[in-house]
Structure 1
Amino acid sequence: MSARRPRLTCAVLIRQADRHLMGWLTWHLALGVDHIAVIDSGTCDRARQIVQGLGRNWPVSWHPVELQDGLEPEARRLELTRHAVDHVRQVTQALDGADDEDMSPEPEPADDWLLILDADEYLVPEYNLSDMFQGTPEDTAAVAIHWRIYGAAGHLSPPPGHILAHHTWHAPPSFTDHKFVRLLARLEHLPEASGLTDPLGLNLPADRIRRLDGSPYQPSADISPTELWIGGSIQHYVCAQAHGEDELPAPLRAHYDRNEQMKVMSLDRLWDMRRLANQIQEQALQAGLARLRGLVAQQVEEIRLHWEKQEADLPIGNHVQHGTFQYDRVRPPSQGRLLLDEQFSASYRVGQTVLLRSSEGRLLEGDQPDHREPFIGFWQAGTPHVLTLYTQEGKPFILGDAPCVFGMTSLHISFNADRRVIHLPHETGHSSTPLEMIPASVPPAHLFAPLPQADEPEGLSVRGLLVWLAGHPNLRPYDLHRALLLLSPDSAQHMRNLAPILESFLPPPPRAAFLPR
């Protein structure tokens, strides 16, 4: 093994920055990946907003690529791989420059490694990320890591929450496609990007490639199924993330939708990922709030122009006189008109604190074993499908894959008014447990901002949300989280395009009528 410190950069090749991108980034950052390069060949603005919203505090970068139309898949991958190699070399040079500015007298030299993955591929070490570099002498050019193909796990539509937590069934080791590998390559052994001709083998000699257990990698040799995933695997979720038959035709879906064996992810590893996810989501919510604040002035100006047009259409003069009676038309200022808007001047509504109790009499607590403090809920009858949970001490907590930011989480719940029973959303991991709301004799721990009223038949519009933001210039990020849950289905979809970094905070899309609830 090299005496230098291994430094791993992952490059992810994306085409659609869908709702899994944030989860992909979170998982690999939690593993300890030193830098993630998002090589974007089509989403552009959506991926850019997500990555640049996180890039100030997290080691991620965005690199857009314009490809010629009509490229064959192999040629497309080759071009993206070339861009990935070139971009990562620039990133590592910048990292070395940052090390040079360190006050330490002799910065530890790095042994740079690169792993190029698709957005439906997740690196999963058997133990720790550092173990994957064991048994790799200096002349090792790359380490081969085998696929592990995961099926749809019976989900008719993608469930909310992290993909690794909810897709736990995979093909048996004997499945032919498990012989496919991705190469964890030493950056110094890779050719210049322009000279790269093999996007899978990376132009590396086979006799310089090893497996994770240290043995030589021989592509054509038969391998025992029990040896496939020694040290780790690339978990491939092609069925879970394909967007339609244009990406995964029915015959291919039938081939890859294999669900014969179960492998449940380690709870410790999930908790580590979810702790980091909550830190990342705090920044995402702040970035989303900044993004929306940048649109507020534009929305207010559109409202002002609309009012001016309405006034111009009214057949009323600026000065009117009838005999001894006269008047001058007075136009109120735009700010004065906004004060009459029920979103801009949202009024407080009565709320109450509650505890959540199961039929067995247990109060709802956080998931992690060191958390034994019951949740306190803040609930308002005027918005019965929004519930905010926090703890008396205000400490961070984990509740499944729900974003728990700034010591609280707001959830879109199912509410039974007659029984005062609720169901939490799927991503919390408690959706199957009916919970009774028990009034609590404690005041709310936070002064929450008043929520805007619905202005569409099915909820709040994006226009109403922006006007509400205009009226609340000192709004806290967790208040925005509560308000986002009021968006109508159409407006939530609009928000996904407007501020994709807020995806985790939006109400779930409506389920198809034929799906079970």
Structure 2
Amino acid sequence: MSKSAAILFVHNEVDTIGWWLAHHATIGFSTLIVCDDHSTDGTRAALSNAATLYDIRVQSADTTLPTRLERQTRFHKNALAQGRDEFDWMMILAADEYLHFETARSVAEFTAGATEATMAINWCLFGSSGRMTPSAFSPVETFTRHGLLSLPDHRVVRHLVQPRHLDNSLPDPFSALDRNAVWDEARILHFAASDRESFFKRDSSATPEQAWQNFDRNDAEYGGASRWLPESRRIASFMTQASLTDLYWRLKAVMTHADKPILQKLGLTPAQLSVSLSSRLQPQFRFCTLGESQRLMLDMQSGSLVPIGTTDTNFGRYNPLVMALEVSDTDIWNACLFVENPLPGRYLPLAGSPTLLPMVPLRIRIAENTVLSPVSGDEIHIAIPDHALTEIDSTVSLYSRMTPFMVLTAEGHNLAGLLRGIDRLPAPDASALGCAIAMLPFEEAERLSDAFPGVVPRNVRPARPSQS
């Protein structure tokens, strides 16, 4: 069987590195070889957690070389040389470049009929699609508009190469500038612009506004790459849950050792963790199914949410949805959405929610009867049959499903209470922890992310107050 590897040199890409890894695993690369150039934002931690799930070989850049370009060049040459005897095909990519095939289902299928040892694939430059701030969704989903084929930048190429046929030189991205770009069979989705805030934060140009104008191309709509999203989300969900499990153990250690430097970063003191500062009563939950004569269920075969009649007993295929509403005396109630029968190793797909967990955090505006994602701050439109939430009995089984979340939020939605909850929770529950983080105040969640870079995924961090 053909073996292939994607090669990546990366620095400070913590919020998108998971999507890059998930996408290139989805399209069929056997191995991902990644060199971290001493990132300071947690990229290395995200890579390490992902490497427990997939053949991701993580290296560190050679610090004896003074410039990033020299370190990158050395890594690229070494990776290609070391892969000659193992891989049939290899490809150098950047963190904002996603390989995409128009019809082929995998790298192996795309390269099966190759007659040359090198295959050049043109850039396709995607703009911001009007996005101003970072998104927790995949770039493939977030940025769907690109420049016209005639754009000169599209003559830049990346090469799928057979490493055993290479000499010591690297493939040249500018080797096809004299030829028109072609996207008939494949293209490199180049998300160079991303959102405006992230672009200017990178500060990689002496003339950033001019660079932004060059990269922010939104002339044509393209959704062909969305076919990779179901599988890339599935892989990304594993990475999210691995990171949150790692975070649980790190927080457990903080509670065990009363780590003062970490507590200082969190804005907490040992005294705040030793005694509960909350006098609120144990939160109460109301449990509802979505719909009355029909109920919204997860189709376990298709992965979609569908309305099913209450007399349909095919529960091997259909898994009823349950919403747990946290009773509040305010107009906004926190809620968690999950399926009646647990989803081990899977996530609940809900359009509009970036949270890749078996349980989805929500925020309900009771008076307006609207549902929001606490992570994106945007409204989520759930096609509830009959437009009805039907309250059901609060059974022991339902409460047991909520127990880890209730332990983490028993003292309210605040960071000190979360850590005391971690101390009481005997084993990690990534879904409960992700939901609890999503319901923290924005500033406290950001302090948690800063204290533990790389293990607090963006897709569980709450939106800025202005977004919610």
TM-score range (shorter-chain normalised) is 0.7 to 0.9
1:38 equivalent in alignment to 2:30? no
Distance 1:467 1:437, change over 3 A: farther
Any idea what SS the aligned residue of 1:243 has? Answer: helix
Amino acid at match of 2:441: S
1:399 equivalent in alignment to 2:350? yes
Q: Which residue pairs with 1:390 in the alignment?
A: 338
How big is the shift at 1:388?
1.6
Alpha-carbon distance in 2 for matches of 1:287, 1:264: 34
Any idea what SS the aligned residue of 2:233 has? Answer: helix
Alpha-carbon distance in 2 for matches of 1:267, 1:410: 22
Amino acid at match of 1:281: T
Alpha-carbon distance in 2 for matches of 1:367, 1:263: 29
* 1:282-308, Cα deviation, whole Å (9 max, x unpaired): 32322222232233223377899xxxx
Alpha-carbon distance in 2 for matches of 1:295, 1:151: 42
Q: Which residue pairs with 2:199 in the alignment?
A: 243
How big is the shift at 1:173?
0.7
1:161 aligned to 128, 133, 137, which one? 137
Equivalent pair of 1:8/1:33 in contact (CA under 8 Å): yes
1:409 aligned to 330, 343, 359, which one? 359
Alpha-carbon distance in 1 for matches of 2:241, 2:42: 19
Q: Which residue pairs with 1:219 in the alignment?
A: 176
Q: Which residue pairs with 2:105 in the alignment?
A: 128
Any idea what SS the aligned residue of 1:286 has? Answer: helix
1:35-74 → structure 2 map (5 Å cutoff): 35-43=31-39, 46-66=42-62, 71=67
Distance 1:378 1:44, change over 3 A: same
Q: Which residue pairs with 2:243 in the alignment?
A: 284
Alpha-carbon distance in 2 for matches of 1:231, 1:494: 45
Alpha-carbon distance in 2 for matches of 1:12, 1:501: 20
Amino acid at match of 1:41: D
Alpha-carbon distance in 1 for matches of 2:136, 2:440: 17
User: Which blocks of at least 5 consecutive residues in structure 2 are unaligned?
Assistant: 264-268, 307-317
* 1:190-221, Cα deviation, whole Å (9 max, x unpaired): 345xxx4x56369xxxxxxxxxxxxxxx7254
Q: Which residue pairs with 1:321 in the alignment?
A: none
Q: Which residue pairs with 2:424 in the alignment?
A: 471
Q: Which residue pairs with 1:99 in the alignment?
A: none
Equivalent pair of 1:52/1:61 in contact (CA under 8 Å): no
Q: Which residue pairs with 2:310 in the alignment?
A: none
Any idea what SS the aligned residue of 1:446 has? Answer: helix
Q: Which residue pairs with 2:22 in the alignment?
A: 26
Q: Which residue pairs with 2:117 in the alignment?
A: 141
Q: Which residue pairs with 1:14 in the alignment?
A: 10
How big is the shift at 1:410?
2.7
Amino acid at match of 2:338: Y
Any idea what SS the aligned residue of 1:159 has? Answer: coil
Any idea what SS the aligned residue of 1:240 has? Answer: coil
Alpha-carbon distance in 2 for matches of 1:36, 1:391: 34
* Percentage of identical aligned residues: 19
Distance 1:424 1:464, change over 3 A: closer
Distance 1:159 1:447, change over 3 A: closer
Q: Which residue pairs with 1:506 in the alignment?
A: 460
1:200-215 → structure 2 map (5 Å cutoff): 200=172
Alpha-carbon distance in 2 for matches of 1:180, 1:468: 52
Q: Which residue pairs with 1:170 in the alignment?
A: 146
Amino acid at match of 1:244: F
Distance 1:300 1:280, change over 3 A: closer
Alpha-carbon distance in 2 for matches of 1:220, 1:280: 38
Q: Which residue pairs with 2:314 in the alignment?
A: none
Alpha-carbon distance in 2 for matches of 1:260, 1:80: 33
Amino acid at match of 2:71: E
Equivalent pair of 2:26/2:231 in contact (CA under 8 Å): yes
1:341 equivalent in alignment to 2:341? no
Equivalent pair of 1:351/1:380 in contact (CA under 8 Å): yes
* 1:255-282, Cα deviation, whole Å (9 max, x unpaired): 1111111111455422122222223333
Alpha-carbon distance in 2 for matches of 1:154, 1:471: 44
Equivalent pair of 1:8/1:112 in contact (CA under 8 Å): yes
How big is the shift at 1:364?
7.5
How big is the shift at 1:155?
1.3
Q: Which residue pairs with 1:375 in the alignment?
A: 321
Equivalent pair of 1:354/1:437 in contact (CA under 8 Å): no
Alpha-carbon distance in 1 for matches of 2:260, 2:212: 49
How big is the shift at 1:6?
2.5
Alpha-carbon distance in 1 for matches of 2:227, 2:420: 43
Equivalent pair of 1:453/1:460 in contact (CA under 8 Å): no
Any idea what SS the aligned residue of 2:123 has? Answer: strand
Distance 1:399 1:348, change over 3 A: same
Moved more, 112-121 or 81-90: 81-90
Equivalent pair of 2:355/2:459 in contact (CA under 8 Å): yes
Any idea what SS the aligned residue of 1:6 has? Answer: coil
Alpha-carbon distance in 2 for matches of 1:150, 1:439: 44
* 1:360-381, Cα deviation, whole Å (9 max, x unpaired): x984767984543552111212
CA RMSD of aligned residues (A): 3.9
2:284 aligned to 336, 345, 350, which one? 350
